[in-house]
């Protein structure tokens, strides 16, 4: 029984760890999306300031080109993180399923033990009741 409880604790820890990983990746994606949006705004602002929106134009602002490059890198990173997130969610799902399997086994075992204990207590009460009944029949 102790080993099963330890195993359940271990699986709970693993599920919690997987949840943290999912949350961390989601936070990173949100942060990258925020930065990507800021860079997009900076590019639009720079294009508006210069009056040039064509990247191939010889006078296109260097800052806008650099910001677009950073934005593109962020978008690639977001795509990679999305893949990692899906993997982390799958790992979480598997870990959660394993935990539930062991928790259900523990519940069945606890229920079986409770039934056995209840049956034993009832048998003891029956013996006590029969003993009192026999005593009163002998006395009477």
Whether residue 130 lies inside any domain: the answer is no
Report d(CA 17, CA 60) in Å as an integer: 47
Task: Give the C-alpha separation, 68 to 7, whole Å.
Answer: 50
Whether 115 maps to a domain, the answer reads no
Kindly state the percentage of the chain with pLDDT values over 90.
Answer: 59
Q: Is residue 68 part of a domain?
A: yes
Residue 83 forms part of a structural domain = yes
> What is the band of 120 on the pLDDT scale with cuts at 50, 70, 90?
confident
Instruction: Kindly report, residue by residue over 6-31, the tens digit of the pLDDT.
Output: 888 989 999 999 999 999 999 999 99
Q: In this structure, is residue 124 part of a structural domain?
A: no
Six-digit token string for 48: 């508006």
pLDDT of residue 13: 94
Q: What is the pTM of this model?
A: 0.71
- 22 in Cβ contact with 54 (< 8 Å): no
- Own/partner pairs, 91-99, CB within 8 angstroms, 24+ separation: 91/18, 91/21, 92/15, 92/18, 92/19, 92/21, 92/22, 95/11, 95/14, 95/15, 95/18, 96/15, 96/18, 98/11, 98/14, 99/8, 99/11, 99/12, 99/14, 99/15
Please report whether residue 126 resides in a domain: no
Write down the pLDDT at residue 110: 79
Average pLDDT of span 62-82 = 96
DSSP for 64-115, written as a single string: HHHHHHHHHHHHHHHHHHHHHHHHHHHHHHHHHHHHHHHHHHHHHHHHHHHH
Please state which of the ranges 55-69, 79-93, 112-126 shows the lowest mean pLDDT: 112-126
Q: How many domains are there within the chain?
A: 1
For residue 74, what is the domain's CATH number? 1.10.287
Owning domain of residue 6: 2-109
pLDDT of residue 27: 98
Q: How confident is the model at residue 135 (pLDDT cuts 50, 70, 90)?
A: low
Average pLDDT of the chain, as a whole number: 88
């Amino acid at each position: 029984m102790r080993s099963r409880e330890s195993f359940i604790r271990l699986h709970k820890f693993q599920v919690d760890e997987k949840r943290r990983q999912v949350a961390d990746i989601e936070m990173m994606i949100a942060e990258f999306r925020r930065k990507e949006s800021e860079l997009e705004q900076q590019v639009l602002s720079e294009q508006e300031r210069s009056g040039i929106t064509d990247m191939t134009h010889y006078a296109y602002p260097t800052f806008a080109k650099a910001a677009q490059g950073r934005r593109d890198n962020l978008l690639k990173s977001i795509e990679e993180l999305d893949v990692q997130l899906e993997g982390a969610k799958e790992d979480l799902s598997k870990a959660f399923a394993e935990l539930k399997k062991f928790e259900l086994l523990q519940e069945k075992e606890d229920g079986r033990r409770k039934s056995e204990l209840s049956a034993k207590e009832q048998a003891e009460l029956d013996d006590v009741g029969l003993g009192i009944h026999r005593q009163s029949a002998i006395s009477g």
